[in-house]
Structure 1
Amino acid sequence: MKKLVELLRNKYFLAIVAFVAWMLFFDKNDVLSQYEYRTEVNKLQQEKDFYLKETAIVKKDLKELDSNLGTAEKFAREKYFMKKDNEDVFVIVHTNDKKK
């Protein structure tokens, strides 16, 4: 018990404890803020990866359309469901739900 009292009276120990408490809880860059920043960075990195993939797909489609004009009709029919005046378009949606 006596050592604990001596430790609590030590000004260097108290300064270190106060500094650690300040840095962990009260500072602008405390532990909770750092965790929130890291989760935000991870979320933004996932969004960046998604948009890079989407950009690559769009560039591939654009290159295909620029290189061969015959694929423009196929592209319009598949992507935008366009049709000629005397045609009917049927859209078939596949679901992965398996009913037991």
Structure 2
Amino acid sequence: MKKAASFLTNKYLLVSAFFVVWVLFFDQRDFFQQREKLGELKKLETQKKYYQQEIEKARKELTDIQHNPAALEKLARERYLMKKDGEDIYIIEDSLTTGK
């Protein structure tokens, strides 16, 4: 019993325990905030990777449009619904993709 009492009154142990509790719960950058920030960082890195891939796709498409007239015509017809004189365009919407 005397050994347990001396163990609990050890000033180094008490200060160490206080420090650990302070860092885990009360500090400005506590353990739980750090875990939350780490999760947010991973999410942002995933978004960064996605946007970098989208930028590469856009650059490739831009290069293709600038150097290939057939690709430019395809883009104009598909995205902007442009047509040649005398052509008719029919737009068919799939009911599954429109959400109805």
Q: Which interval holds the TM-score relative to the shorter structure?
A: 0.7 to 0.9
Aligned to 1:73: 73
Counterpart amino acid of residue 81 in structure 2: M
User: Cα deviation per residue 1:34-89 (whole Å; 9 max; x = unaligned)?
Assistant: 101100110100110000010010001000011122321211223x1513274123
TM-score (norm: length of structure 1): 0.80
The unaligned stretches of length 5 or more in structure 1 are: 96-100
Q: How well do the aligned residues superpose, as a CA RMSD in angstroms?
A: 2.0
Query: Is the counterpart of residue 82 in structure 1 residue 85 in structure 2?
Result: no
Measured after TM superposition, the shift of residue 93 of structure 1 is 4.6
Question: How many residue pairs align between the two structures?
Answer: 94
TM-score (norm: length of structure 2): 0.80
Contact 1:76 1:82 in 2 (8 A): yes
- Counting only pairs closer than 5 Å after superposition, residues 1-100 of structure 1 correspond to structure 2 as 1-78=1-78, 80-84=79-83, 86-91=87-92, 93=94
